[in-house]
Structure 1
């Protein structure tokens, strides 16, 4: 009986994970009108090296924005060959005192490596603890942000900083908390947010009137 239970648990774990690719690759056919969870595959005989290639991660991003950071994204939308492979990466540039503001990736864990400079990084655990896990990173240091948890990075120095991060999804998604809550379209009712944040509605009205800039490209 114990063996049956253990087998059932293992089987459940196997079926709960994402399925692996059933062929060498499935390059995204972005011209297809078929809607699936991902992209339809191109004819493999029409695939070439450019379907697995992206150039430009060596170039600094433009950090001249309100948050002082820029995220250069390399996911399935930039490299069609990432389709079904469950991985992507980003380059993040930080101006002096710039930040990648609190956000989540709903479909991916992130592993970040500091290439240049110093970063204060952290993530917050789920309810009810909401505990901040925080670390100061220098060049060569690596930090992991678990899937779905709110996290951030901040450059505390007067010099630029650069990081490279890998994510465990071909299309991890990003939800920047302030943009989503105060910059949604249409707006969330101000009374709802005032009660949620326990502040006067005038504070919410002010926040909703701001331009919430996206630092991802």
Structure 2
């Protein structure tokens, strides 16, 4: 299986690439649409501000590419946030509009950013998590100041509690999946989630 990591100049590409390679996948990094089309699935990583990321995606001609793809796509951290309708970060900015909801800054919490390990509570199981037994320890690593709000319950797979704020941790809709945390930095459970997603991709292309 071949996974294309979408490079738009804002992401921890190396750590994501290495994590995927450990899953016995062929991985490449590119912003070239023709090359990306050769992949069986995509990963959209991201670190930084939402408006800057959208400008870079638009500049690379990748907005329509992502919106129109029918191949599995996993958004990580900022990459997940970009899949929502709009963000308040810096200035109101339209997102890719895949998932319902708005990216908003945390309020009423003692510390921003939300940084550290949190237990992930599953609300439902997508097909790629339906096989096998889930590990009992489900802690994942978050680093973010903004989170998805006003989301669709049908698209919410798992959440984490941060000082009584329910943070969407995993969302899924059709061929799109988003993880607000960093699975590549989340120890055994993060590896489990990445592997489950990748194996789900393999089943769809076989």
Using the size of structure 2 for normalisation, the TM-score is: 0.28
Q: Which has the higher strand share?
A: 2
Using the size of structure 1 for normalisation, the TM-score is: 0.27
Q: Which has the higher helix share?
A: 2
